[in-house]
């Protein structure tokens, strides 16, 4: 497979599609997506133009947390298929030029994992229990948890286990749900096991891993209470971003180094952004997700600050940035950008705000051109390319997310971003399941999604899907995009403008995004490659972005220059019609 963009390793400029298996495509008609469904849709992904697929967990799991509760790390959930199906899929994807990234969940497993079952059956102090965090309780009869830690999903982070004789026994730690016991990374068994799991999948042709909850793995072995009053200073938290977590990634990097072209990407949410860079040291992870960008409001000044901070943090490590607008844990981007508050925070998901979907969609279209023009790699969460919105009215009894249940509904949770994709037709299941499938999709699809199916959007020049297809095609063909430098241009308030110029002849791409309430003059260019919405003569309307071709003589004058090349002409009438060929 080709290595392209930036001339370095493939992942430095890749476009990665996050595929949430249970909601992508249902091959066998049980209402849940599966690997047969993915295999049938590989041509769709190849035509979309992505370089890699990241699969959310595909392992056997009781799915207390949508598969992030793994019962067997070396197999495939029978509801999704078999290990042989995964092997076939990896090979077929490679044949389409698409690499495979899998999700490794090392902080915790399922309470059905054989190690945890064995730990429950074993005595306190046993080697089996040493792989987890078992402790006696505090207070009379050990009836209180060992410390005051709270679960990230709500409620206490400890659950009392029953002793083999049925009496209440020790407590075990779970930073997420009680069905997700935390591993003790001080245990050599745990370390050896995960290195072996990495080898198992790399040996099957997997090209990379996304590391779940990557900053949480190690804990202060004294398990101290959390002090009252806010976040502890960086590096002193008893279970977030501890210094000893880096040893794990050094050993994983060594494992990855035994195979060619493998990538390690960390899911790292940190309150202090400067700590990200430590995970990107040359002997640790290759990339980390850029959550400050994802959480940033639709505001030119704030976005520019996040972009600058991101690039400054990555530069010393020589690591490429990642740019992410959404994933399976956050609100769909068209909904977020359609609210009065366009920022996102994991701890303040709010579905009570009104959503202007038309505005949100217009902004999301502009945002994707901004995002895909930035230096580094980009992630697309399935359904983002269709402009799906957050489904906020899922009936409570159908909600699956433990966040919803463990907060007593105070937090609506993440189900609304996980609804099965609409592929074709005018009624649910919209081609998600085969015709005459016995079962309904595992979460209900809004009937309005008939306007957002792949079938409906295909060939509609104004659709989100065709915008993504054009953007990914141009991004792939354009040497200026992906890894490499960018240069900000002077621009009016509320407008972000920057150049991407490859080495060589000086021609490049100028990305301009208007987040202000008034139309902005387009800067100098020789042609419009792509615009997220109709242009207003030579002007860029609010909440619109454009990619402009620049020649060697267009450099530097900024937005106030007359739009020489456009000459006030109409520009592209329809949003997605690529004007002027991308250089191949
Ligand atoms: C990560 C996953 C999320 C999951 C959690 C626990 O944040 O992205 O979906 O619930 O880890 O595994």
What is the predicted pLDDT for the residue at 553? 60
Cis before 429? omega within 30: yes
For this structure, is 212 an active site residue?
yes
Q: How confident is the model at residue 163 (pLDDT cuts 50, 70, 90)?
A: confident
Question: Which H, E and C letters describe 156-224, residue by residue?
Answer: ECEEEEECCCCCEEEEEECCCCCCCCEECCCCHHHHHHHHHHHHHHHCCCCCEEEECCCCCCCCCCCCC
Whole-model pTM: value is 0.94
Candidates 267, 284, 499, 543; catalytic one: 267
**CATH class of segment(s) 114-173:** alpha beta
93: exposed, middle or buried (C-beta count within 10 Å: 0-12, 13-18, 19+)?
buried
pLDDT tens digit sequence for 41-86: 999 999 999 999 999 999 999 999 999 999 999 999 999 999 999 9
Instruction: Please report the atom of ligand 1 found closest to the CA of residue 105.
Output: 12
CA of 575 to the centre of ligand 1 (A): 36
pLDDT at 261 over 80: yes
Asked if 96 and 1 count as a contact pair (C-beta separation under 8 A), the reply is no
From ligand 1's centre to the CA of 522, what distance in Å?
42
Q: Which of 303, 295, 287, 290 is nearest to 366 (CA)?
A: 303
> Quick one: pLDDT band at residue 230, thresholds 50, 70, 90?
confident
Cα of 528 vs centre of ligand 1, distance in Å, is 40
Distance CA 294, CA 371 (A): 10
* Closest residue by Cα to residue 176 from 211, 152, 148, 158: 152
Is pLDDT above 90 for 369?
yes
Query: Which atom of ligand 1 is least distant from the CA of 153?
Result: 10
pLDDT, greater one: 233 or 573: 233
Percent of the chain with pLDDT over 90: 87
Cα 446 from Cα 389, distance rounded (Å): 10
The reply to whether 455 belongs to the active site is: no
Q: Which of 69, 170, 182, 212 is catalytic?
A: 212
Mean pLDDT, the chain, as a whole number?
A: 92
pLDDT of residue 7: 55
* Residue closest by Cα to atom 2 of ligand 1: 212
Distance 5 CA to ligand 1 centre (A): 31
Q: How confident is the model at residue 2 (pLDDT cuts 50, 70, 90)?
A: very low
CA distances (Å), origin 292, targets 92, 308, 492: 35, 11, 24
- Contact indicator for 532, 544 with CB cutoff of 8 Å: yes
Ligand 1, from 22, 59, 176, 331: best to mutate by most atoms within 8 Å of Cβ?
176
Ligand 1 pocket check for 329: Cβ under 6 Å: yes
- pLDDT of 284-327, one tens digit each? 999 999 999 999 999 999 999 999 999 999 999 999 999 999 99
CA distances from 264 to 36, 249, 250, 253, 427 (A): 26, 9, 11, 8, 40
Confidence of residue 224 (pLDDT cuts 50, 70, 90): very high
Q: How far is the CA of 66 from the centre of ligand 1 (A)?
A: 9
With CA atoms as reference, report the closest residue to 479 among 365, 375, 369, 324. Answer: 375
Minimal CA–CA distance to 290: which of 318, 275, 305, 269?
269
Determine the distance separating the centroid of ligand 1 and the alpha carbon of 484, expressed in angstroms: 31
User: Which residue ranges make up each domain of the chain?
Assistant: 114-173, 290-305+320-393+446-584
φ/ψ of 168, rounded to 5, equals -60, 135
Mutational test site, ligand 1, from 19, 22, 23, 65, max ligand atoms within 8 Å of CB: 65
Task: Return the ligand 1 atom nearest residue 269 CA.
Answer: 7
225: three-class secondary structure by DSSP: coil
Angle at Cα 264 formed by Cα 262 and Cα 266, nearest 5°? 165
- 328-366 pLDDT, tens per residue? 999 999 999 999 999 999 988 989 999 999 999 999 999
Tell whether ligand 1 has an atom less than 6 A from the beta carbon of residue 68: yes
């Amino acid at each position: 497979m080709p290595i392209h963009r930036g001339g370095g390793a493939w992942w430095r400029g890749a476009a990665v599609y996050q595929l949430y298996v249970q909601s992508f495509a249902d091959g066998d008609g049980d209402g849940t997506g599966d690997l047969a469904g993915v295999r049938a849709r590989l041509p769709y992904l190849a035509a979309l133009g992505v370089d890699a697929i990241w699969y959310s967990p595909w392992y056997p799991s009781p799915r207390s947390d949508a598969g992030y509760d793994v019962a067997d790390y070396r197999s495939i959930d029978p509801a999704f298929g078999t290990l042989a199906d995964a092997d076939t899929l990896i090979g077929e994807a490679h044949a389409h030029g698409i690499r495979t990234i899998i999700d490794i969940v090392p902080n915790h497993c399922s309470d059905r994992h054989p190690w945890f079952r064995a730990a429950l059956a074993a005595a306190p102090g046993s080697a089996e229990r040493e792989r987890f965090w078992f402790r006696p309780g505090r207070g009379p009869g050990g009836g209180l948890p060992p410390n005051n830690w709270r679960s990230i999903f709500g409620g206490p982070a400890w659950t009392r286990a029953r002793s083999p004789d049925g009496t209440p026994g020790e407590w075990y730690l779970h930073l997420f749900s009680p069905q997700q016991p935390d591993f003790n990374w001080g245990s050599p068994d745990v370390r050896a096991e995960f290195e072996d799991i990495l080898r198992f999948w790399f040996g099957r042709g997997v090209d990379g891993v996304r590391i779940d909850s990557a900053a949480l793995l190690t804990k202060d072995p004294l398990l101290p209470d959390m002090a009252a009053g806010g976040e502890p200073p960086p590096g002193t938290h008893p279970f977030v971003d501890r210094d000893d977590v880096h040893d794990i990634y050094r050993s994983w990097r060594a494992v990855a180094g035994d195979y060619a072209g493998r990538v390690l990407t960390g899911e790292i949410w940190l309150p202090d952004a400067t700590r990200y860079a430590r995970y990107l040291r040359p002997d640790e992870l290759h990339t980390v997700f850029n959550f400050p960008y994802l959480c940033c409001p639709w505001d030119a000044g704030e976005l520019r600050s996040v972009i600058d901070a991101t690039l400054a943090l990555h530069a010393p490590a020589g690591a490429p940035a990642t740019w992410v607008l959404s994933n399976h844990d956050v609100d769909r981007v068209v909904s977020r950008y359609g609210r009065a508050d366009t920022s996102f925070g994991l701890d303040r998901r709010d579905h009570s705000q009104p959503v202007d979907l038309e505005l949100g969609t217009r902004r999301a279209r502009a945002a994707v051109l901004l995002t895909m023009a930035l230096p580094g790699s980009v992630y697309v969460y399935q359904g983002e390319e269709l402009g799906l919105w957050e489904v906020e009215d899922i009936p409570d009894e159908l909600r699956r997310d433990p966040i919803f249940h463990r907060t007593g509904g105070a937090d609506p949770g993440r189900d609304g971003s996980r609804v099965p994709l609409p592929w074709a037709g005018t009624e649910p299941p919209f081609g998600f399941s085969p015709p005459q499938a016995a079962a309904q999709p595992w979460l209900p699809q809004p009937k309005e999604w008939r306007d957002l199916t792949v079938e409906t959007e295909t060939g509609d020049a104004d659709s989100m899907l065709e915008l993504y297809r054009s953007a990914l095609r141009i991004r792939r063909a354009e040497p200026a995009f992906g890894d490499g430098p960018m240069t900000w241009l002077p621009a009016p308030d509320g407008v972000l403008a920057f150049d991407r110029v490859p080495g060589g002849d000086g021609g490049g791409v100028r990305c301009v995004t208007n987040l202000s309430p008034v139309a902005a003059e387009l800067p100098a260019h020789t042609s419009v490659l792509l615009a997220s919405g109709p242009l207003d003569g030579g002007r860029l309307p609010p909440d619109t972005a454009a990619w402009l071709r620049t020649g060697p003589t267009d450099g530097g004058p900024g937005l106030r220059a007359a739009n020489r090349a456009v000459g006030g002409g109409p520009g592209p009438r329809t949003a997605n019609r690529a004007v002027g060929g991308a250089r191949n």
